[in-house]
Amino acid sequence: DEKAIEIERGVILDEFRKKKANPESMIWDVWKRVFSQGTNAERSGLGTEESIRAITKQDLVDFYHTMFVSGRMVIVACGGITIKELQQEIEKQLPVSRSDKFVVSCDLPIIRHNLISIEPYIGKEQVHLMFGFRTVSLIHKDYPVLIVLSGILGRGRTSILYKQLRIERGLVYVVSSSISGLSDAGSFAVETATAKKNVQEVLDIICQEVNRIIQNGVTQEQIQLAKNKLIKSRRMKMQTSDSWVAFHADEELFRSQPWTLTDFVAEIESVTFQDVQRVAQIYFGKDKWYLAMCGDIANDEVEIHW
């Protein structure tokens, strides 16, 4: 239906403009652009205004038949339904062609031609930034260690960076660290926003604390606190059918064996002091960083010090 396509196009264009106008939303696109540069993964999920306008009905049909095939899909459900009932509904509502399982045969290349990517917002006093590193896929053995490391460095009021940047210096209102795990790549990033005049100091403190972990590791108390918070938080989130589906969807798509909340807890519990320092030394460092910024700032106005 051409009319339905045009209505949806208008909605997506509106979403695109709202995202472009909001540096807090846009920073994730800029981060993705720099850490996956030179690969297909650097492209924005929303595309550009020109690409949105250029999409035709035939493009949508071709995409559906190419991508919506059994080998690229997984159906995860939670609630009062049996597997047989679910299968009947899917076959009726979402007919797809059968295909071999799609397998990612190699990791996404690591390219560092451009270390800093900036989306300019002229006249904005505040700069949103993400500083981090390329890491590993969702199913890599080091991924749980990165989750714990993220908890220690930048998750919550007890984290290292919250204490340093917010409580002790008042340079930021919020700071967080996060990890992103794909099928063939991953990233670890610290995200925050600060006044332009404070950007260099904020980056210096982030680098200082990351380097401290590389050199000295963390305490057993920090590890245990992070593990306890992660496990309790995950269990608290598993209160709805939607949360169960969201938790299992990527795992079912990427893993060859079933993976459950029990597996998650066991993986987090198994992380040791030695694991945290080892992983920091492998994936973090002066020749591995990327920086994304949204604001009225230029590349030559910041330096990364180790």
Give the pLDDT score at 32: 96
What is the DSSP pairing of strand 116-120 with strand 289-295? parallel
- Residue range 187-239, pLDDT digits in tens: 999 999 999 999 999 999 999 999 999 999 999 999 999 999 999 999 999 99
**Average model confidence (pLDDT) across the chain:** 94
Residues 114-136 have a mean pLDDT of 97
Give Cβ neighbours of residue 7 (< 8 Å, ≥ 6 apart). Answer: none
Give Cβ neighbours of residue 63 (< 8 Å, ≥ 6 apart). Answer: none
What's the angle, vertex CA 21, arms to CA 187 and CA 132, rounded to 5?
15
Count Cβ atoms within 10 A of the Cβ of residue 282 and give its class: 0-12 exposed, 13-18 middle, 19 or more buried.
middle
Can 2-93 and 116-301 be said to share one CATH topology?
A: yes
Tell me which CATH homologous superfamily contains domain 116-301. Metalloenzyme, LuxS/M16 peptidase-like (3.30.830.10)
- Flag whether pLDDT at 245 surpasses 90: yes
Encode the chain in three state secondary structure.
CHHHHHHHHHHHHHHHHHHHHCHHHHHHHHHHHHHCCCCHHHCCCCCCHHHHHHCCHHHHHHHHHHHCEHHHCCCCCCCCCCHHHHHHHHHHHCCCECCCCCCCCCCCCCCCCCCEEEEECCCCCEEEEEEEEECCCCCCCCHHHHHHHHHHHHCCCCCHHHHHHHHHCCCCCCEEEEEEECCCCEEEEEEEEEEHHHHHHHHHHHHHHHHHHHHHCCCHHHHHHHHHHHHHHHHHHCCCHHHHHHHHHHHHHHCCCCCCHHHHHHHHHCCCHHHHHHHHHHHCCCCCEEEEEEECCCHHHCCCCC
Give the pLDDT score at 129: 99
Give Cβ neighbours of residue 289 (< 8 Å, ≥ 6 apart). Answer: 115, 131, 132, 133, 304
- Residue range 252-290, pLDDT digits in tens: 888 888 889 999 999 999 999 999 999 999 999 989 999
Cα of 119 vs its chain's centroid, Å:
18
Among 83-97, 127-141, 150-164, 267-281, name the one with the lowest average pLDDT: 83-97
Q: Is CATH 3.30.830.10 what the domain over 2-93 is classified as, yes or no?
A: yes
- Alpha carbon distance 133, 145 (integer Å): 15
Residues 98-114 have a mean pLDDT of 90
What's the angle, vertex CA 171, arms to CA 173 and CA 227, rounded to 5?
60
Give the pLDDT score at 255: 86
- Flag whether pLDDT at 45 surpasses 90: no
Q: In this structure, are residues 294 and 119 in contact, taking their beta carbons and an 8 Å threshold?
A: yes
Give the pLDDT score at 46: 86
Cα of 4 vs its chain's centroid, Å:
32
Give the pLDDT score at 105: 80
Every domain of the chain and the residues it spans:
2-93, 116-301
- Flag whether pLDDT at 250 surpasses 90: no
